[in-house]
Every structure is written in C-alpha cells, then in structure tokens.
Amino acid sequence: MNSATFPKRSAPARTRCSQGTVELLAERAEAKSIELASWVLEDVPCHLRGDPGRLRQVLTNLLGNAIKFTERGEVVVRVSKENESEEHVTIRCAVADTGIGIPHEAQNKLFQAFTQADGSLTRRYGGTGLGLAISKQLVELMGGQIGMESTPGQGSTFWFVVRLEKQPPGTTYFFKRPRGNLENLRVLVVDDNATNRQILQHQTKSRKMRASTAVNGAEALELLRREAATGDAFNLVILDLQMPEMDGLTLAQTIRADPLIQKARLVMLTSLGLRLDAEAWRSAGIDAYLVKPVKESRLFDCLATVMAETTVPIAGHPDALHAAGAPGRVRALNPRHVRILMAEDNVVNQKVGLRQLKKLGYAADAVANGMEAVEALKRIPYDVVLMDCHMPELDGYEATRLIRQMEMGKNDPQRPPAYIIALTANALESDREKCLAAGMNDYISKPVKLPELQAVLQEAASFVRPVAARKRTENSGGNNEAVIDGSVLAGLRELQEPGGPDAVVELIELFLRDTPVKIQSMQSAIARSDGLALQESAHSLKGSASNLGARRLAKLCAELERLPKEGKLAEASDLFGKLNEEYGRVCFILEQEKEKPIESL
C-alpha cells in the first residue's frame, strides 16, 4: 500500500475530535460495562490542520480493539503534546486498556495483517491484525509513528504520534460563551472510578475552579458537611450515578435532605444506555445530567448554565436570551411531553435524526426545508426545533428570523418561543455569529451523535415549558437501517431443527471465520490496483453479508464492487475504510447474537 492508495488530505482537525470518536463507541463499551473516557491535556492546541479522516480511522481501530479485548475495567484515550514549533505541533494519542494484554513474543508481529497473538483469542474475539496493519500504514503516511506496550493479564497501551499544522488565525471553531462564572467555584467530584475523578478534577481546575474529589457517597457527605461547617461550602457536586454501596440518586437525595448542604447544585453523570425518568431526577433534586463519556465542551456548557440560574443576565450579552426567565432549578425533560420538529433536507440525515430522537423517547415530526418549518410552527406549538442551517428554498437562518418575527407578532404568553437548535456542519466563528443573529438558542455539530443530542435536549430543559402530552401520529419513516436486520436472523432461526445445533450460531461462526480472508483480499487488491480481484472479493462478501442481514455492509460491498467498472478505483481506499468500520460493528452484533440461548429466540 502506498501514498497513492490513500491520497493525503489537509483539513481542520480538532484535537477534541477524539472525544467524538469515543462517543461513537460508547454504546459498545456500555454493553460490556466498561468505563470509557477521553482526556485531552490542557496544553494541547484545540485547532490544528491534518487529515481528520485518517486520524479518526486510526483512533477508531485502536479504540475498537481495546474495547474488544477488555472484559472489565476501563479504556482511556489520552491526548498530549510532545513538542511545538512556530508552525507545527506534535501530539501523542494513547489508548490504554485494562484488558487481557498481549504476550511478549507476539508483540513484534502485531502490526502485520492478520497476525494473531493467540489462537484461542482469535476464536473468542476475532481478528485484529488488519485494523492494526491499516492503522500503521495510515500513521506512517501522515509522517508519524505508532507503537504499543503491553503486560499480559494487566492491559495494553497503543499509541501514535503525528505532527500537525497549526490553524491560521481566524479559522478556529467556536464554543458557546459560558452563561455563568465558573472561576473560583468550589466543585466536588464524586466517582468510584479513579481515572474519571482525575480527568474531571483536571478539567475543572483548568477553568480555575477549586476542585476536590471523593471516592464514594459516604466520603462525599463527610467533605460536604465539614466544608459547609467552616463557611466554605461546595457550590457544585458532580456525581456518578452508578457507584457501589450508595448510588448517585441516593447521594443526591441525602444531600437535598440535609439543610447544611442542600443548596449545592447537583450534576449527575449517567450512562448512555440508561433510560431517563424525569420524575426520578426531579424527586432526587438533580439540576442537570450529562451522558458519559463526558465531552469537555458540553461539561462546561452544562456547569455554566446550572450556575447561571442565580445570576442576572447582562444586557446585550449574546446569551442573555438563554438565561432570561430560567426557572430556579434545571428540569429534566419528559420526552412524552415535548413536541419536536426537525427541519432537514437530507433524507438520510432526517431518518437518522428521527431514529435517534425515538431512541431517547421523543416523538418528532420532520420537514424538508425552512419554509415548511415556518408553516408547521404556524399550525403546531412545537417546543423544540432542530434546524439545519443550509436548506433549499429557505435556509435555517432565514427560517429562524421569520419564526421569531411571528412569535413577537403574536406575543402569546401561553405559547412561549420555540427553542431552536442549529444543526451545523462547521461550527466556525462566522456560523456562531449567524446563529445568534438569527435568534437560535443553541447548536449541535453534524454528524449528530446520540450523547450530544441527549445533552443538548437536556440543556433545553431550562428554557422549555412543554405542552401537555398529546396524541401524535408516529412517523413510520423514522426507522434507520440497523447493523443487522433482525427479520433475516428470525427467518434463519425458523430452520432450526428440534434438539439440533443452533443454525444461526453455525452461520455466524462461518461468517466470522471466512470474512477476514475476504477483507484481506480486498485490501491487497486495492494496494495492487487490481480491479478484477477487488470485484470478486467484494461480490463474495456482499453475498455473505446479505445472508445474515448485514444490509449496510452488503451495500458498501456493492458500492466497492461497482467502482472498478466505473473507472473509479482511486476512490476504493476511502470506501474500504468505511466498510472495515461497518465490518467491526457487524462482528460485535453477531458475537452478541451467538450468546443468545436457543430457547429465548
């Protein structure tokens, strides 16, 4: 494989993009009850130029392997600065896990395609060699280095070092300005996981907050009461929901029941897979919650919003609109009581967005442009609008201006203004100003990730007064294509003979055994620019994927098979990267299917 196979790109590459990659794999880690965290050190510049696609693929491969080979404990991404010159910064990205580790004799061969550390591990976890081999090539094509350290039985750390170009002035991305002053704030972090405590303490101290930590609820209560008695009480408590002995909800209720410490603001850290109950949060006195792994920008947005509730908005401040009229306590939105409108012209994005909202418990309607959004709000009092900024006929900015004019004209106290969240692909400083000028309340970057969406909707809770639950017509078009089509597996299970081996498990094991060879054949064909061999390998995998209901994988195979016929072999490397990522997701789901007992199917 040479540089012609993977053409070099230079584009804005945010070092915090590691947090976005971590979010993509959060559900996989949650399924195994593994703590997943991202730590970008304070001295690492946020905005650099490099090849974000390659960086993301390498990090995805390393993270995916770490989660796969870790049965308990944690996986942590740590981004640090190696050195810096006037024009460049060299960063080090390390993925550390508490997994099974790798035997010393196998470590030197690990970055060769489909080298396995141990045959029994291969059968249990599947191949890792291709992803590491590709990662090594990608890092070297960027002029970097990749390596690892591992201790069998204790875990591994895979790392890569790359040199990135500093962003020229005026092209940096924006974050919302804080709505509350966090400096000198007394913060207590309560989490039984030492890495999470360390990361949160580092992040809060970097914003000049006075941070302390506690390992469990009993220690937290002791600290809170002692400091309150000395006259230097904690202003804010960040507490994990899932802790041994005393969980986060119990701790929150205990804090609220104690007059000495009940004034502290409470922010809960929850897991992605947890279905939130608005009444449970309210009864426990929770001010806000954040979904782990916690993105740094969302953490500070949340803390600033929570602390701003006791402050008076500054006249003329761009965020004054957000704080005005905020209630005395952040509320948890009950999805059943919230009307959401999504304005998005891209059909795929629309379907994905509706499916994400449905997963979070929200029902939503969708329109295809700004004009339809304005007309919809004339008829229905939507509480929240997810507004794409760039749409045909009428873009999101102009649509928002018309909506705000319409609201001011009606001046209806029974119908508060819609909370409009911009969907923006770039989030540049110029976009920020346009969003504020148009009257939008918040933003979320595309592609939209589930934890980010959940967090931004939670933030809307401070400003939204939902209309009572009404009967809604469910949007049947909101289903996004799953990694595995369950109906295909259900049909295969109908072939099950009574008392015989599980037919589905046999087919899955066959797929997991044979597919790595097909993947390797495709990789070799792309490296040799052998279009015919690529077509044959892609066609073969397409059939295998279709038979097990892996429709997205089959579709990617079909696209890859078509490229040589259309004379577009140069595009194969990028598409192969997507196919490889989807293959990893398919393997993960199929491994779960294998564990299901026959009688429960």
pLDDT in tens, 537-595: 999 899 888 888 898 999 999 999 999 888 888 888 888 888 877 887 787 788 777 76
Give residue for tokens 């609201």.
407
Highest mean pLDDT among 17-31, 140-154, 161-175, 312-326: 140-154
H-assigned helices in 50-155: 52-68, 104-107, 119-125, 129-141
Instruction: Band the pLDDT of 409: cuts 50, 70, 90.
Output: confident
DSSP string, 243-291: -SSS-HHHHHHHHHH-TTTTTSEEEEEE-TTPPP-HHHHHHHT--EEEE
Is the distance from CB of 14 to CB of 56 less than 8 angstroms?
Answer: no
- Mean pLDDT score across all residues of the chain: 78
Assessment of whether the complete model's pTM goes beyond 0.75: no
Read off the pLDDT of residues 185-215 as tens digits, 9 standing for 90 and up: 999 999 999 999 999 998 899 888 999 999 9
Read off the pLDDT of residues 154-163 as tens digits, 9 standing for 90 and up: 999 999 999 9
Per-residue model confidence (pLDDT) at position 237 = 96
Instruction: Band the pLDDT of 170: cuts 50, 70, 90.
Output: very low
**3-state secondary structure at position 385:** strand
Domains of the chain, first to last: 11-166 (3.30.565.10), 186-308 (3.40.50.2300), 340-467 (3.40.50.2300), 486-595 (1.20.120.160)
Amino acid at 493: R
Helix (H) or strand (E) holding 97: strand 88-97
pLDDT for residue 310 is more than 50 = no
H-assigned helices in 343-484: 347-359, 370-379, 396-410, 429-438, 450-460
Instruction: Band the pLDDT of 430: cuts 50, 70, 90.
Output: low
Average pLDDT over residues 304-328: 41
What distance in Å separates the CA atoms of residue 302 and residue 291, rounded to the nearest whole number?
11
Give residue for tokens 């309560």.
190
Instruction: Identify whether 564 is preceded by a cis peptide bond (ω within 30 of 0).
Output: no
What distance in Å separates the CA atoms of residue 362 and residue 115, rounded to the nearest whole number?
45
Read off the pLDDT of residues 13-43 as tens digits, 9 standing for 90 and up: 555 556 667 877 887 888 888 888 888 888 8
Read off the pLDDT of residues 215-248 as tens digits, 9 standing for 90 and up: 999 999 999 999 999 999 999 999 998 898 888 8
pLDDT for residue 512 is more than 70 = yes
What distance in Å separates the CA atoms of residue 439 and residue 421, rounded to the nearest whole number?
10
Instruction: Band the pLDDT of 371: cuts 50, 70, 90.
Output: very high
What distance in Å separates the CA atoms of residue 399 and residue 373, rounded to the nearest whole number?
7
Q: Write the CB contacts of 416 (distance below 8 Å, at least 6 apart in sequence).
A: 464, 465
